[in-house]
């Protein structure tokens, strides 16, 4: 490796798992400096987001809220390697929080957000670094999802007597909000529950009609109403299996098939074959009795105190020039 040019070493290392890179920081000072560089961290995050083996499911044990034989400090988080989903592994949190009250708020760029009513916690499971944030004095019901620099919420426009779903986007950079178009998904005037999410890099809305079906819509072109497409419907029927709640986790193409991973009824995971319209059970060891989950991309995003920006060094310029020549490496 010593004979390889630095730009090539950068490309190779950026395709490795975060846990391996954290060990490799001990190889040499030059490697440590490279791995800690912001440009490398961003490159690694980009590569990891495109590699399913660099993603993991974070699981919260929800049964603690009902169990009277636990202490508030009991472990409550698990990791589940994706896409194998074979075994859940306990995560020991490096911060104190109330296990029973803590909820998963969401995840973004390898960072997990948790909250327990007293404080909010930003946690990077790969680096085991965290930050504690004060709870906002304004309560916002529901979970926002992040895409294109904005947080998105599906809200109900008043008056309640003429309730209409509205998709609101808040730009984190400018702190400005706008209303995005949504599909007309209640043409049958049926009772339903709706939630917003992100699937395959697109805003999605799932609409559940109790005792009838689940519809999943995706907005293929951000902000364009005409791009909304009903991706598929899952009916409530015996040969598929009945459910009270299905939460889409991730979409995966494998072996010529298209499958969607769901969290089903807060207790298990199932694959849904989009073409064959069937569920496939996932046999996972070590799952809690009741759960909540979030998909997390491995990252090296630091959570230490912000440091002063350093001038871009020559290695960075070398890498940009190296990449601009169209070099592609297949591992």
Kindly state the average pLDDT of the residues 91-105. Answer: 81
Alpha helices in 37-151 (DSSP H): 38-49
CA distances from 94 to 22, 129, 175 (A): 17, 8, 32
Task: Cite the residue boundaries of each domain of the chain with CATH code 2.120.10.
Answer: 52-297
* Strand ordering across the sheet containing 119-124: 103-108, 111-115, 119-124, 129-134
So what's the pLDDT on residue 173?
Answer: 92
User: Which class is 52-297 in CATH?
Assistant: mainly beta
Distance CA 13, CA 56 (A): 20
Please give the mean pLDDT across all residues of the chain. 82
The confidence band for 4, taking pLDDT boundaries of 50, 70 and 90, is: confident
More confident residue, 2 or 68: 2
**Alpha-carbon torsion, ordered 207, 203, 251, 186, to 10 deg:** 20
Other Cβ atoms less than 10 A from the Cβ of 39: the count is 16
Range of lowest pLDDT (44-53, 97-106, 258-267): 97-106
Other Cβ atoms less than 10 A from the Cβ of 321: the count is 10
Distance CA 218, CA 21 (A): 35
Q: Is the pLDDT of residue 313 over 90?
A: no
Residue 327, token pair as written in the block = 């070099």
Distance CA 311, CA 78 (A): 40
Kindly state the average pLDDT of the residues 78-92. Answer: 87
The confidence band for 1, taking pLDDT boundaries of 50, 70 and 90, is: low
> pTM value?
0.80
The confidence band for 135, taking pLDDT boundaries of 50, 70 and 90, is: confident
User: Which residues, at least 6 apart from 218, have a Cβ–Cβ distance to it below 8 Å?
Assistant: 199, 200, 202, 203, 204, 228, 229, 231
For strands 278-281 and 268-273, give the pairing: antiparallel
Residues 155-170: tens digit of each pLDDT: 877 665 555 688 999 9
Percent of the chain with pLDDT over 70: 81
């Amino acid at each position: 490796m010593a004979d390889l040019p630095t730009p090539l070493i950068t490309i190779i290392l950026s395709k490795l798992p975060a846990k391996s890179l954290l060990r490799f920081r001990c190889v040499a000072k030059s490697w440590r400096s490279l791995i800690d560089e912001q440009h490398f961290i961003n490159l690694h995050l980009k590569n990891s987001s495109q590699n399913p083996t660099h993603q993991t499911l974070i699981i919260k044990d929800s049964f603690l809220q009902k169990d009277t034989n636990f202490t508030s400090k009991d472990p409550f988080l698990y990791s589940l390697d994706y896409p194998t989903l074979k075994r859940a592994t306990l995560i020991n949190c490096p911060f104190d929080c109330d296990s029973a009250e803590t909820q998963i708020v969401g995840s973004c760029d390898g960072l997990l957000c948790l909250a327990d009513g007293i404080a909010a916690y930003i946690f990077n499971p790969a680096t085991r670094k965290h930050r504690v944030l004060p709870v906002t004095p304004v309560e916002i019901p529901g979970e926002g999802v992040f895409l294109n620099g904005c947080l998105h919420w599906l809200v109900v426009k008043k008056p309640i007597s003429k309730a209409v779903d509205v998709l609101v986007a808040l730009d984190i950079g400018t702190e400005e909000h706008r209303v995005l178009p949504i599909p007309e998904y209640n043409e049958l005037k049926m009772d339903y529950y709706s939630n917003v999410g992100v699937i395959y890099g697109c805003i999605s809305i799932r609409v559940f009609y109790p005792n009838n079906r689940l519809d999943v819509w995706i907005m293929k072109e951000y902000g364009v109403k005409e791009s909304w497409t009903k991706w598929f419907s899952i009916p409530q029927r015996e040969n598929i299996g009945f459910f009270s709640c299905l939460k889409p986790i991730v979409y995966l193409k494998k072996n010529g098939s298209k499958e969607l991973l769901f969290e089903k009824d807060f207790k298990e995971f199932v694959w849904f074959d989009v073409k064959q319209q069937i569920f496939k059970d996932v046999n996972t060891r070590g799952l809690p009795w009741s759960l909540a989950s979030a998909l997390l991309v491995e990252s090296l995003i630091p959570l230490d105190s912000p440091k002063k920006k350093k001038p871009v060094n020559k290695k960075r310029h070398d890498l940009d020039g190296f990449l601009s020549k169209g070099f592609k490496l297949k591992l």
